Structure 1
Amino acid sequence: MAEPLQIAQLGNPVLRQQAQIVDNIRDNRLQQLIDQLIASVLAANGVGIAAPQVSESYRLFIVASRPNPRYPHAPLMEPTAMINPRIIAHSPKVTQGWEGCLSIPGIRGLVPRYQAIEVEYTSRGGQLHRQELTDFVARIFQHEHDHLDGIVFLDRVESMQDLMTEQEYQHRIVK
């Protein structure tokens, strides 16, 4: 198993940069980075992580939804590397949901996101995938996709009243 990497924290300039397109998917260094991202998201009890969050400015992220202490009601799925991901289409319906971020520890925010999205990405094996994602997994994809464009969830919160500490979130929302 690969070693987890240090997660960049809010204020680190890499989190505000436009990430670069991945050209060589079969590159050993990129494949190693994917393994390190998976190790990092699992170690941190996250449900997703983008390459810029470990100071690697590539259009790559992992979606790894599973129940854990931070997200006890998350659906279970295998960690999936999504390279050069794109949102092709989205539902008109937008839903509010509580989000946290490994790069912004201790804070949760109520964030509007599309309920359903159609996405396209390349897998670590080089295959092009196109699929529809809904609800929580669609939220993870949109959150991680934002990281590739230098956007953090705080930028999407509509009101400062829609923020709370992780401790309050666990006490009031998760129960």
Structure 2
Amino acid sequence: MTADAPFPAVPLSQEAIAAHVRSVLDDELPPIVAAGHPVLRRAAQDYDGQLDDATLARLIDTMRRVMHAAPGVGLAAPQIGIPLRIAVLEDAGAADPEIAAARSRPALPFTVLINPRYTATAGEVDAFYEGCLSVPGYQAVVERPHRVEATYARPDGRIVTTGFAGWPARIVQHETDHLNGTLYLDRAILRSLTADAEHHRWARPTVDEARRGLGF
């Protein structure tokens, strides 16, 4: 099974999805599930109104709080055990001007993606280290398109198409991959895999030094 061929979802009824979401939201700050949990390896179901407006708003708010508490810059619903195509993103950007320029990492305001799909819109590819809240303790280099065009619904139901470039495009791709049952490690250059305790060696604006040091 390739990263682009997600394991099919097991459809749940509207009643079952709604009941499951309510049970997850009983926890003030639901735990993030880790790699090995089957919800991370199946394509999530499209969101098509399974939740009432108040429950959807509560889910989005909870996901935002879980993301901030982790802390992270994105969170997909499957990461808290909910198999729906919903993700939240937010990034303050890189404070270091050199890193911000090298990684094209401006601030990304809080964004909700519902049923997102993306396509690359340019041939340029960026390679940087990524981590994942569901794969704690490690980071690895992932090559991703520099620019993508994403089509998704907003919480009010309006469908929009938005272009993302640089680090925001990387976050969109990472979180949309989660909704397809794909982890970043499926796309990573595994020779670059680095434990968090060792990542200080390669924490540079680019991965050039890590390429030389680790031979990838």
User: TM-score under structure 1 normalisation?
Assistant: 0.89
2:41 equivalent to 1:16: yes
- Distance in 1 (CA, whole Å) between partners of 2:36 and 2:55 is 26
CA contact (8 A) 2:43 2:181 kept: yes
Q: Decide whether aligned partners of structure 1 residues 170 and 26 sit closer, same or farther in structure 2, where only a CA change above 3 A counts.
A: farther
Q: Decide whether aligned partners of structure 1 residues 4 and 171 sit closer, same or farther in structure 2, where only a CA change above 3 A counts.
A: farther
Match of 1:96 among 120, 127, 133: 127
Name the counterpart of 2:208.
none
Name the counterpart of 2:159.
128
Secondary structure of the residue aligned to 1:78 is: strand
CA contact (8 A) 1:26 1:124 kept: no
Larger-Rg structure = 2
Amino acid at match of 2:127: Q
Amino acid at match of 1:125: D
Return the structure number with greater strand share. 1
CA contact (8 A) 1:20 1:58 kept: yes
CA contact (8 A) 2:120 2:145 kept: no
Secondary structure of the residue aligned to 1:162 is: strand
Name the counterpart of 2:195.
165
Secondary structure of the residue aligned to 1:28 is: helix
CA contact (8 A) 2:43 2:180 kept: yes
- Distance in 2 (CA, whole Å) between partners of 1:90 and 1:79 is 23
- Distance in 2 (CA, whole Å) between partners of 1:7 and 1:17 is 16
2:115 equivalent to 1:84: yes
Cα deviation, 1:43-98, whole Å, max 9, x if unaligned, reads 11100010000000001101111258xxx955323221110111144321221111
Q: Decide whether aligned partners of structure 1 residues 95 and 77 sit closer, same or farther in structure 2, where only a CA change above 3 A counts.
A: closer
Name the counterpart of 1:115.
146
Alpha-carbon RMSD across the aligned residues, in angstroms, is 2.2
Q: Which runs of 5+ in 1 are unaligned?
A: none
The Cα shift of 1:130 comes to 1.2
Q: Which runs of 5+ in 2 are unaligned?
A: 1-26, 206-216
- Distance in 2 (CA, whole Å) between partners of 1:16 and 1:6 is 17
Amino acid at match of 1:17: R
Secondary structure of the residue aligned to 1:154 is: helix
- Distance in 2 (CA, whole Å) between partners of 1:6 and 1:152 is 18
CA contact (8 A) 1:26 1:126 kept: no
- Identity %, equivalent residues: 35
CA contact (8 A) 2:93 2:108 kept: no
Q: Decide whether aligned partners of structure 1 residues 120 and 34 sit closer, same or farther in structure 2, where only a CA change above 3 A counts.
A: same
